[in-house]
Amino acid sequence: MKQKACIILPTYNEKENINLILDALLKEFELIDDFNMEVLVVDDNSPDKTWETVEKYSQKHPNIHLLLRKKKSGLGSAYIEGINFAIDKLKADFVFNMDADLSHDPKLISKMLEQGKEFNLVIGSRYIKGGGFANWPWYRKLISKGANLFGVIILGLKIKDISSGFRCYSKDIINKTNLSKIESTGYAFLEELLFHCIKNGAKVKEIPLIFVDRTKGETKLNKKEMINFFLTIIRLRRKYGKA
């Protein structure tokens, strides 16, 4: 029996992008023979009604699912709810974090699943050889790299890219990691989940990712989220020590 992998896409006002990413994923799934592929869109009741487009896709494609939440509750809580749904309800063996704005190349999914046969956490990394940014100005790269380095040093992580939002987790490492421990509801969830996975013995592999900034819609990352990133890193170090 084939194993199942589920791509989790948190959305909030992504009507301009959702059909593009779903089409790209469906096209990529046609090239993947050794896994049953699913998509779970977790929408926070988008005012632009992103969820309506997802509903239409789900009627035509039984492997596309919608988890519609009552209100905007943060990226982290969307992923936690999505991961639990994917594993408990959809019976996924692997779950992916992935952006819905086309920043992450769907062509990497098959490579990540291949690495997932040996590693229980695979990261699309912007900071290893072959990775990078396609259309970011130098100052955004500098801020991103500086924040990433801060987290790596403070938490003692041997990972180059701790804030990448494109990851593949095996069910076993998720089950070993108590998601209820995670306090971050926003973007800092990514660093916190990574930290706890590594604390629980995750075997990690990074593969090159060229990050492409969104061309449609508005980014949800703001100054408050950036401050929470640093506060989360400090909180994790004080509470749990280094990884």
Residue type, 96: F
What sign does the dihedral 227-228-233-234 (CA atoms) show?
positive
SS3 of the chain: the string is CCEEEEEEEEECCCHHHHHHHHHHHHHHHCCCCCEEEEEEEEECCCCCCHHHHHHHHHHHCCCEEEEECCCCCCHHHHHHHHHHHHHHCCCCCEEEECCCCCCCCCCHHHHHHHHCCCCCEEEEECCCCCCEECCCCHHHHHHHHHHHHHHHHHHCCCCCCCCCCCEEEEHHHHHHCCHHHCCCCCCCHHHHHHHHHHHCCCCEEEEECEECCCCCCCCCCCHHHHHHHHHHHHHHHHHHCCC
User: What's the pLDDT score for residue 201?
Assistant: 96
Task: Give the span between the Cα atoms of 40 and 95, in whole angstroms.
Answer: 10
Tell me: pLDDT of 8 over 60: yes
User: What's the pLDDT score for residue 138?
Assistant: 82
Cβ–Cβ < 8 Å for 223, 138:
no
Cβ–Cβ < 8 Å for 98, 8:
yes
**What are 78's two structure tokens?**
């969307």
Cα angle 24, 75, 109 (rounded to 5 degrees) comes to 30
pLDDT digits (tens, 9 = 90+) for 144-185: 899 999 999 999 999 999 999 999 999 999 999 999 999 998
User: What's the pLDDT score for residue 1?
Assistant: 86
User: What's the pLDDT score for residue 35?
Assistant: 98
Tell me: pLDDT of 223 over 60: yes
Task: Give the span between the Cα atoms of 133 and 213, in whole angstroms.
Answer: 8
Tell me: pLDDT of 217 over 80: no
**How far apart, in Å, are the Cα atoms of 238 and each of 47, 142, 148, 155, 172?**
39, 26, 18, 10, 27
Range in 47-51, 192-196, 214-218 with the lowest mean pLDDT: 214-218
Tell me: pLDDT of 215 over 80: no
In the chain the domains, ranked by start, together with CATH numbers, are 3-240 (3.90.550.10)
Tell me: pLDDT of 25 over 70: yes
Report pTM.
0.94
User: What's the pLDDT score for residue 135?
Assistant: 80
pLDDT digits (tens, 9 = 90+) for 76-104: 999 999 999 999 999 999 999 999 999 99
pLDDT digits (tens, 9 = 90+) for 26-66: 999 999 999 999 999 999 999 999 999 999 999 999 999 99
Per-residue confidence band for 243, with pLDDT thresholds at 50, 70 and 90: confident
Give the residue among 72, 61, 84 at the shortest CA–CA distance from 8: 84
Please provide the average confidence, as pLDDT, over all residues in the chain. 94
User: What's the pLDDT score for residue 240?
Assistant: 95
pLDDT digits (tens, 9 = 90+) for 107-150: 999 999 999 999 999 999 999 999 999 888 888 888 889 999 99
